[in-house]
Amino acid sequence: MSGRNKANGSGGAGRVKRKQIQSDDGWTVITHGLSKVSLSEKSQGATVLPTQIVKDLTAEKLLGDFKTLQERWEDTALAAQVNGVIEGREWGVEEAVCIGIGSFSRDWAHRWRSLWQLVLFDHVVGRLKKLSKKTEIQCYAQDPAFTPLDTEFLSLLSITTLDSGLEAKIKAKSFVYSPFVDWFLLLPTFLADRDPVLYIGNEILDDYSMYAQSEEKKEKLQECNEVGKKWLVGRQVVKLCEFEKHGNALNGMVVYLRVTGDDDKDDGEEDKKERVKDGEEEK
């Protein structure tokens, strides 16, 4: 199936087994239905990530494709769910960071998956701006697969690309977006000792033992488990529904919300109601 067909919504809604893309500098990105891919032509046992850019593609054409997907996004169940999660809360987000979203311009069908993922990121940033009445939220993105054309395109959306150091941008008032970066990079590099108010991406676990099959992952296992356990404390998780427009782009992601004092109060009221309902009296 071609990338254009997927962009037009004919990608299947069923779940596809995720695999990994490995780059020279250690990034490993979980993808859907792909073989292991490397940015290095010398890599053994890996399919090389295409170095060719889509013929005649420009930043303006990419922007046009992006806006087309935005229009098709608005009436989806996933968009409605995301709006419901974001609204009705004071976020105070000052910066948004996008980790490992992939290339939009390399000549492969999976660039449409990256564009759909960007639509979700941009949508959330837009909602956060509207709710907080902010004119600007500083947006950053980092991925070793980015090309100069990707950087030019993202600049049209007021997103600054970084070659390294994205983790330094993650603060308490950050929105972190990580569409399927592998756990043994994501947790120690981007989430350790950080407490962003909003996160959308991979589900975070407190035990990755069953996924630590290689020596590289086993070396990171204890650290990642500790980061995961700490990360889950004081956070509420919302699992996002399936995305009908492209089965491989957004399925399987979750939202983590930092629990506020009001959330604790609401939980207490719910507990009280349950006790009364069960016939228990308040002492």
Confidence class of residue 48 from pLDDT cuts 50, 70 and 90? low
pTM, to two decimals: 0.79
Q: Establish if 1 belongs to a structural domain.
A: no
Question: Residue 1: pLDDT above 50?
Answer: no
The pLDDT score that the predictor gives to residue 262 is 55
Average pLDDT over residues 97-118: 93
Confidence class of residue 133 from pLDDT cuts 50, 70 and 90? confident
The string of pLDDT tens digits covering residues 219-237 is: 999 999 999 999 999 999 9
Q: Both tokens of residue 86?
A: 């974001």
Rg of the chain over all Cα atoms, to the nearest angstrom: 20
The string of pLDDT tens digits covering residues 183-200 is: 999 999 999 999 999 999
Q: Establish if 15 belongs to a structural domain.
A: no
Q: Establish if 195 belongs to a structural domain.
A: yes
Helix, coil or strand: residue 137:
coil
Which phi and psi angles does 59 have, rounded to 5°?
A: -60, -35
Helix, coil or strand: residue 151:
helix
Average pLDDT over residues 27-43: 41
Compare 11 and 131 and report the one with higher pLDDT.
Answer: 131
Q: Establish if 20 belongs to a structural domain.
A: no
Instruction: Quickly list DSSP for 185-215.
Output: HIIIIIITT---SEEEESPP-S--GGG--SH
Q: Establish if 122 belongs to a structural domain.
A: yes
Residue type at 246? H
Q: Establish if 95 belongs to a structural domain.
A: yes
Average pLDDT over residues 197-209: 96
Which phi and psi angles does 86 have, rounded to 5°?
A: -75, -40
Q: Establish if 48 belongs to a structural domain.
A: no
Question: Residue 178: pLDDT above 70?
Answer: yes
Domain with residue 81: its CATH number is 3.40.50
Compare 21 and 101 and report the one with higher pLDDT.
Answer: 101
- Residue 3's CB: how many other CB atoms inside 10 A? 18
**Residue entry with tokens 């087309």:** 68
- Residue 120's CB: how many other CB atoms inside 10 A? 23
Domain count, the chain: 1
Q: In what order do the strands lie in the sheet with 138-142?
A: 159-161, 138-142, 95-99, 174-178, 198-201, 254-258, 235-239
Q: Establish if 270 belongs to a structural domain.
A: no
Residue 141's nearest CA partner among 127, 124, 158 is: 158
Structural domain containing residue 196: 55-258
Pairing, β 95-99 against β 174-178: parallel
The pLDDT score that the predictor gives to residue 70 is 97
Distance CA 109, CA 214 (A): 29
Distance CA 72, CA 116 (A): 10
Helix, coil or strand: residue 73:
helix
Average pLDDT over residues 78-91: 93
Contacts with 157 (C-beta within 8 Å, 6 or more apart), sequence order: 63, 66, 118, 122, 139
